[in-house]
Every structure is written in structure tokens, then in C-alpha cells.
Structure 1
């Protein structure tokens, strides 16, 4: 899940590279800048570069020897070049490059671009040869992109033309993909997505010899940036996962997932955390949160300022959190039924612990999808009164418009899950890579440039740490989920699916619901989340939040960021909702809290088992518990 553009839009600010005053260096200029005072420049530079090359070669040799010693270990091979070459060839074969009209347009556009760019450097009809007409920032280039914002991309004609030609070609390729005819809509969407991913991967910013900022950093550091970057790359290859944050910067229970509480119940599948109240009185009906098991629960408890859990506790709500166990071989046979049964079990555990008739619930993403199925099962058994309300964070039940993730769902890819899961569980690193690809420039290529090519230090950022803290999934459940929900969309077909022998019909759900969607959500698009309103028969409140799958949810009132929209007019479609919506600045959390209290605002003293771990209350361990730390 995790990983969407809003992960980086606000906070992924890597320290900027110090600009070199020289022109963006070619190799000879780079060598010249590295020469110590005195001596023969060419010889001195050659010796130094030979030392750098030797260090890189030694590191690579050591890595290869190390990997030979671990040949039996199973690790994701995300960097297999043959896979990428095969994918690129498949995409290129479907684009009409051999069409004479296309070739003619590419030729003419390329000539026009060359004349425009090189002319401003005096290599055309204007100015002195080799001299820019004006400062690099004043070049009139037809295309802009934040990947090429550094002035070094405009200081020399080669790099100026290179990145402009790349942007032009990217536009042309995406236009070709979009114009391909004769494909089914799903295949057409896959082609467009694959073309965009390939174009992003081929950016000149991603390669050391075509990135003037990386070359400048190499000159500035006398090659040490290349060594640091190579070390970063080898470290990621060892662990089979791209690093986004500084290793060791965050420790569970110390500077993330720190809201005080106790683990009060556990099964082989999950632990149940109860958080310690901070008010003398609390709502009588407690809140039980189901986070997605494809990520760690502490996305809702990152730190004191961002924590939804801490904020809810401060509102006088008794909060329980399910912490799912990362799958291992013992969980190979688990299916969706087991997660639905676990949600019902957790509901009953909270009810029994506090001796209350019902609980409020929250389901985030896939856990929200499962919560809908859980409510349908309870309704079928006449037990819907166990849940006083249900809140859905960016959750889908109708997967017809499920966004970019659908590009990864077809028969071949579902079958591949089995091959990747010989021990019965899917390594979470595969899923993390999939989500990263959805926003490749933000979550892959910017880190390749900054941390591999330029050798920069990783930032210390809790949200990106969480994004990389992967969990494993039971392979059988994962295949069923992709097939039955994403591919076949069976959840919205009454009685098409069963859980524990009980047929699921979402239209039986009469529980009051609060449905939150993110305006820029690419994992669970707002148009897809909206469809939940079509299937529930109880009272509903729909809220559209600014930003996406993560920042749209984790948006505390204290941040003063984004906004949300409401519409009390009973709109029939999302378009109608938006057209008649009222915009509210800031976080939607207070709106939700007011809605929750409107269900039942009766309060009780915060004593007895409302304070976990008190006298006479046997608990298992302190929050955040063992399961969240298991890899």
C-alpha cells in the first residue's frame, strides 16, 4: 500500500547538492578538477581515478563472492536486467515506430528541438560559438520537469539538448501508446502504464555519465560520491529492497509507535493493543481499528504529532488496535475467511473485555474491504448490532475502477505469485516493489539519483521508514484476493463469495458508515471508493479528503494542511458530490470525531479495564508488541 506520491510531496527533501561554479563537467574537465597542486595533471588525475576504480572493483568483487556464499538464500531479484530488457522489447514492439508518418514527425520535431536548444548556445545562427546567449536559468527551453531543475542541466549544450530530447521522446512514446488501437481496454491500460514506467526508467538523470549533477558531485568530492553511491547500491542489493530512509534512524517503541498501551489479547494471526486513556472520562463505546496487513499498523501511530491513535485517545475515545502478524510458512493455508473470522473475534474480544454491547470500527484499505465482508457476515447471522459504526479509510469493495494496481492483475501475474511463494507466503519486498513502481519517479528513480549516483545521505523520515517496513502475506490468500476481488470483482455480486460457509451480500449491511476517500489516491481512487455507497443500506457519510492514500488519512489538525469536502445534499454520483460539495480547510479528523459522538455520546469513567495493565488486569506486554517487529 504504501507507497504513493503523497509520501514524498511534503517531506522527502534530500539535502541539495552544492552547485559547482564550473560548467557541467565532461570527463576531461572532471579529471582536471581533481588534480592536486603540482605534478603532471594527466598523470596525477589518472592515478587518482585508478584508485577510485580499484576501490569500486574491489567492492564489486567482494559482493560477488559474498553472494556466491549465499546462493541458497531466496531474495527478490528486482534488478534482473534481462527481465527489464524483455519488458522494454515487448512495449516497443507495440508502438508504431515503423510508421512513416511517425518517423517523419520524430525527425522534424528532433531537428526543431536541436535548432532551438543549440541555437541558444551560439551553435546555430545566433551569438558566439560555444557561448550561451544568457545565463543557464534564462534559456528558453520548450519543456520542463522537476527531475531536471538543477541549473547544471542547462549549462552545456549537450546536457540541455539531452534532457529536452528525452522529454520530447517520452511525450511521443506515451502518445503512441495511447493511440494504439485494437487492444482490450485492460491491455491498453497496461501498455500505457508499461510505457510510462519504461520512459521513467530511461531518464538521463538515472545514469552517471548522462547526469551533469552527478558528474559535478564526483568532481567536487574527488570520486568519493561514486564510492558512497556504490556502497548504497550494494547494500540495497544485499537486502533485496530499495532504501528510502537512514538505516537505524527509527526504533519501534522509542521514536515510532510510541503511544502508551498494552497488548491485551493475541492469537497466532494478530495481537490486540489497547491504548492508555489520557482523559478522566471516555466514550462508552470503544473504537477498534483494523489496519491493512500488507503494512505495519503504526502508519496510524508514527509519532506524537502525526498519530491518529494518540489524537483519538485525547478525544476521550478508548482505542484498540489490531497488529497483524507478518506471514511465515505456518500461515501458508490462511485465506480471506481467516481474516474475516479474526475481525469478528477481535470485535468479540473487545466487547467481552469492557463488557459493552458494541464497538465502533475502522478499516483501512484492504482491512476496510474485509470489514465490509465482516459486516455482511454479521448481518447474515443477525449480529450486526455488535458494531455501532464502521469507518472506511480509502477502502474499496467494487474493483471495476481500482486504479493503477489493476495493471498488475491478470492470469499470468496471479500465477506468478505461486512461483514467488514456494514456502507458502509472499515476501513483502515484492509487494513493496510493486507499490514503488506505481510512483517510480518519486519512490525509485529519485533515490537512484540521489543515493546511488550522487552518494548522498538518506533522510531520516518516519513515513518512508514505515513504507519500507514490509510484511509478508499468505500466498494462498493473496492469490484468492487478486483473483476474486481485483480480477473478477465478485465481492459486489450478492452471495458470490462466502466466508466460513456464510454467503456475503453487502446490501444487508445497515450499520452507520463514514466513508473517507483521497482526492489524489492512486491506490484506491476516489471514484472507486465512492462505489461503496452503492451497496450499503444503512446511513452513510462520505468525505473527500485532500491528498492521497497516506497523507489524505494521516493529516492531523495541528498540521494545518490540505482540506476536505462534504455534501449533505444526497448526491447520486461522485461528480454530483464534487459539484455541490462544501470545502473545509485542514484535517477531516474533527469532523469524523463529531460524527462518532453523534452516534452515542454517553461517557464512562476511565478506570478498571479502561486503563490496561492496572491492578488486577493481566496483560501480555507493552505496546507496540512483538508482532509489529517480526520480519
Structure 2
């Protein structure tokens, strides 16, 4: 089924914090400085401030008299309980909260602050407003009901969860019950073998699951920020199994979780290691060229690799390239980027070089604050106020299985966001060669997430335009992770496509068609056309030079 997207529904996923913020970090002193500036502005403009205070007072007075001034957002699950609209006390408390939100927003919007300062102020107050929501207290009707139903045990359990998280989870509520999953047993279970290992990676070859297979292999390059098994969570959503069942010889890189000894690993190190893995794929399958797939930072890696190969006149080794939620154009517009200056970047570099690595939990904390209602306050209510265990959810388990980044690679990513080097020829040098993506004439398939808050879809779209060759861009209806995990049996799956790529993502979107179903099936047809001829399946893994070393998922994925 195809139809036009709604004309007035241009998706705007770039919320407050994004991938740049996670790599750079967000300093508390910057938020405090913004709040101090706001306070100073309020004191210097007492008449203006008093006028908004009186407006707020008037609204609160009407709320106390029982008026419902602000509609409840039906998509805001925090206030889904009927008590928020039916009970007089809860209705008034919610209306007072919504009145405060609206008037603070108006106070900032109508101030004489600069546009940048207003954006910073909105960002800071959004975090505060989410934190002080009435749903985050023990007066939450769900919490009150649970206390009565459990005879007070929910309160005892909640205090226990809070103390445990303060001691063992950096003070943030846990998002998942980790005991529910185990790598190699309940996730990452597809049969395969490690056929190559070097200092940076293990290369996993998977056992075929089809009677015939294509001659050109698929090499999946996951992000260095997370572990590879996002592509192989469970049989129902395993991209690896989808590829295998459709005749693709499938290899996946499993990155080593670096420690202080590996502080000098940079982008060039990862590109060299990926090239070595690609050559092993070629040697095992006997194919001259390989189909590459990169996700997030893995997409940056395969783009740099292709630029390096092009400079060496060896680009014929690559048959096609697939980019999943990958940024090559690093220009992102969001309020959080206004906190990033030269001093912030240098401080971030200095911290990681002193430690040798950027800790995964530090990035995870910033990622959580990207969507605090979903990733923090939701679990605050569930774990502490309701006294319940967090859910057993495979995606959240993977998301919390953090890895570290070596200091040199972290520095390369900071420079990537600072200089946007791939946007012009020779702006980035990898392995001693300048990169010009326009000369990379490999056919490409790019996927972005309409609701992606980490790599906003318009930036991914602009990244596609940097590439040479035949390009295809698909906008999935999902977010950052669900854009990857989008199997054909997902009844809610849909995407937007338009074969004509214009320079403006908005123009592309307005002329695009909405298609029901998963992009996986469209990609499969595309990749099969670029995977050579079919032949009888060879069930053996590896070869004489690269024999199977150990069963998948290997050793590196288990390193904490």
C-alpha cells in the first residue's frame, strides 16, 4: 500500500540531545550557567517577570476553582490513569503543573534573550519540568494503589531498588532485568564460528540457512559504541537469520571492548582492521568483492574504508554499501549543540586521554537524558514508586551492555562533529590517505529513522548526498534501534521512499510515498541484485587458512 505522507507532518526527531552530545558529554556547569543567566535576566527585567508571574497566578487561581485550562496529551503515558482527569485533587495538581509549563515557555519565548540563549533555556527547563512532574511522586495514583494493594511492600521494594541503584548503577534507575538474558544462550544464538581474530575484532561467519547462496558475501560492521548482537537478538527479530534464510553469506564483526591499554586506537585503526576482515571474507568465499553494511559509527567506518580503498584504486573490492542510521554529515541542529564550544571539546578529549577510554556508562547516561521521560522517569516510577522489577526486554538488555571507546577514537569523533570533514574532499585523512566520498562510486542503500533522536533523519539524508554512485534512501517509521530491528512480520512497520533525491530533505519528504511493510524486504531485493550468482550452499565454515576457532558469539562480546 502506498500513499502520500501527511503534508503538515514533516517529522522533527532532533529533540534536545543527540549523538554529538553523547560523544561530547553534557556538563552540569553549563546547565547551571544557563539557569544563572535566566535568573539574572529575570531580576534585571522585574516588570516583565512580574507580568508572567501574575499570569501564572491567575491560571492557578482558576485551577483551584476547578477549571480545566489545558488538555492532557493522550500520548503522554505519565497521566494515562483516569484519576488525573476525574479526581478533583489530581486534576488540579496536573492542571497547575501544565500551567507552570506553559507560562515558563511563554516567559522564555517572549524574553529579549538571544535565540541561542532561548534555546538553551528551553533545554534546561525541559529537563526540570520533566523531573518535577507530579507523576514522579508517591502521590502518583498508580503508586498509591500499589501501596494499598501490596500492604506497603511495594514501598519497601522500591527503597531497596533505589539503594541498589545508588550503589551499583550510578544513581540511575535500571532499565532491564539483566538476569533474564545471557549472551550466547538467550541472545546472540545463531549458529556460527569465529574464523578470524586480531587485536581489535573477531570475525564471525554464520552457518547457512538456505539451499542456495549468493557468491558475494555480506560483511556487517556494527557500531564501536555497542556490541554486535543488535543484529542477532532473538530468532524473531534477527537480521542475521533474515539474511541467511535468503541466501546471503553473512559475516559480522565483533569489536573488542577496549581498555586503557588500547588508548591509541583511532578511526584509522578500525578502518585497517575492517579492511583485514573484509579480505578474510573474500578469501573464505572466493569472491572478488564484498557487500558492506555499517550501522551508526560502523557506517562512518565503512565510508572511510571505501574512501581509503578508492585512494588506493582498490574500490573494486566493494560491491555495495548499506548505511543504517549513519552520520557522514555531522552538522546537527539542536539546543544541546549550543553548549558545545572549543573549551567543551578540549575538556572532553582531555578526560578520555587521561583515563585512556571513554566509559560506556558515561555515554549511556547522556543517551538516557535524551528521552528522560521514557528512559529515566518511566523506570523511576516503575522501580521505586511501584516497587516493581524492570522489564525483561532484549533490546534494553543490549542497550545496557555497554562498551568503552578508546581515547584516540573518541578524539576522532569529537573532531568529526567539530569540523564535519567528510562534507568536503580531503577533509578527513584515514590511514594516510585523503577521503573524497564523491569519488566513492559504490551503490549505496541508506536507512534513517523518522523518530531517531540520536542520528536525526535529515542529517542521515544529507549524509547520503555526500556519496557518489547510485544512491537509495529509505525513511523508516521507527527510532534509532527499531530502524534496524524492523522484521517483515512487524505489522506496524512502514517507511517513506522517493527515488529522486533533492538537495533539501523537506522537499524529498513532501514528494515521497508511504509504503506499508518493512524496509528489510526492499533492501533484500536490492542487495540480491548486487550479490552475484547463486550456487549450491557450502555448509562448511572458514577454510584451510582461516579455520573455525570457536563457536559464535565468540570471546570479545563477553568482555566487560
Q: TM-score range by the shorter chain?
A: 0.7 to 0.9
> 2:533 maps to which residue?
602
Q: Residues 336-365 of structure 1, C-alpha deviation per residue, up to 9 Å, x if partnerless?
A: 111121221211121122221110000101
Among residues 402, 406, 410, which one is paired with 1:470 in the alignment?
402
Name whichever of 573-582 and 98-107 sits farther off.
98-107
Supply the distance in 1 between the matched residues of 2:528 and 2:419 (Cα, whole angstroms).
38
Ranges in structure 1 where 5+ consecutive residues have no aligned partner:
7-77, 121-138
Cα shift at 1:110: 3.5
SS at match of 1:520: coil
Supply the distance in 1 between the matched residues of 2:466 and 2:411 (Cα, whole angstroms).
25
> 1:625 maps to which residue?
554
Among residues 179, 193, 196, which one is paired with 2:123 in the alignment?
193
Supply the distance in 1 between the matched residues of 2:333 and 2:537 (Cα, whole angstroms).
42
1:404-423 to structure 2, matched below 5 A, reads 406=337, 409-414=340-345, 415-416=347-348, 418-419=350-351, 422-423=354-355
1:281-296 to structure 2, matched below 5 A, reads 281-296=212-227
Supply the distance in 2 between the matched residues of 1:180 and 1:488 (Cα, whole angstroms).
32
Cα shift at 1:238: 2.3
Residue 62 of structure 2 corresponds to residue 108 of structure 1: no
**Alignment check: 8 A CA contact 1:409 1:487 kept:** no
**Alignment check: 8 A CA contact 2:254 2:557 kept:** yes
**Alignment check: 8 A CA contact 2:328 2:463 kept:** yes
Tell me how many residue pairs correspond in the alignment: 532
> 2:39 maps to which residue?
93
Name whichever of 413-422 and 199-208 sits farther off.
413-422
Cα shift at 1:576: 2.6
Among residues 475, 479, 482, which one is paired with 2:411 in the alignment?
479
After TM superposition, the runs of 4+ consecutive aligned structure 1 residues lying more than 6 A away are 82-85, 613-617
Supply the distance in 2 between the matched residues of 1:506 and 1:94 (Cα, whole angstroms).
48
Among residues 314, 325, 338, which one is paired with 1:394 in the alignment?
325
1:114 and 1:427, CA in 2 relative to 1: closer, same or farther beyond 3 A?
Answer: same
1:300 and 1:617, CA in 2 relative to 1: closer, same or farther beyond 3 A?
Answer: same
**C-alpha RMSD over aligned residues:** 2.8
Among residues 517, 528, 540, which one is paired with 1:611 in the alignment?
540
Among residues 221, 232, 246, which one is paired with 2:161 in the alignment?
232
Cα shift at 1:411: 3.2
> 1:275 maps to which residue?
206
1:457-606 to structure 2, matched below 5 A, reads 457-482=389-414, 484-606=415-537
**Alignment check: 8 A CA contact 1:174 1:196 kept:** no
Residue 382 of structure 2 corresponds to residue 450 of structure 1: yes
Supply the distance in 1 between the matched residues of 2:537 and 2:546 (Cα, whole angstroms).
14
> 1:374 maps to which residue?
305
Report 1 or 2 for greater relative contact order, CA contacts < 8 Å, sequence distance ≥ 6.
Answer: 2
1:543 and 1:529, CA in 2 relative to 1: closer, same or farther beyond 3 A?
Answer: same
Cα shift at 1:240: 2.8
Among residues 172, 182, 197, which one is paired with 1:266 in the alignment?
197
1:487 and 1:94, CA in 2 relative to 1: closer, same or farther beyond 3 A?
Answer: farther
Q: Normalized against structure 2, the TM-score is what? A: 0.88
1:155 and 1:412, CA in 2 relative to 1: closer, same or farther beyond 3 A?
Answer: farther
**Alignment check: 8 A CA contact 1:95 1:176 kept:** no
Residue 141 of structure 2 corresponds to residue 215 of structure 1: no
1:347-358 to structure 2, matched below 5 A, reads 347-358=278-289
1:375 and 1:85, CA in 2 relative to 1: closer, same or farther beyond 3 A?
Answer: closer
Among residues 51, 54, 65, which one is paired with 1:118 in the alignment?
65
**Alignment check: 8 A CA contact 1:307 1:554 kept:** yes
Residue 381 of structure 2 corresponds to residue 436 of structure 1: no
**Alignment check: 8 A CA contact 2:425 2:436 kept:** yes
Cα shift at 1:178: 4.4
Supply the distance in 2 between the matched residues of 1:479 and 1:617 (Cα, whole angstroms).
34
Among residues 81, 85, 97, which one is paired with 1:166 in the alignment?
97
> 1:15 maps to which residue?
none
Supply the distance in 1 between the matched residues of 2:233 and 2:40 (Cα, whole angstroms).
45
1:622 and 1:537, CA in 2 relative to 1: closer, same or farther beyond 3 A?
Answer: same
Cα shift at 1:404: 6.7
Supply the distance in 2 between the matched residues of 1:326 and 1:450 (Cα, whole angstroms).
31
Q: Residues 211-259 of structure 1, C-alpha deviation per residue, up to 9 Å, x if partnerless?
A: 3432342333333212111111222222235411123001111111111
SS at match of 2:422: coil
1:140 and 1:456, CA in 2 relative to 1: closer, same or farther beyond 3 A?
Answer: farther
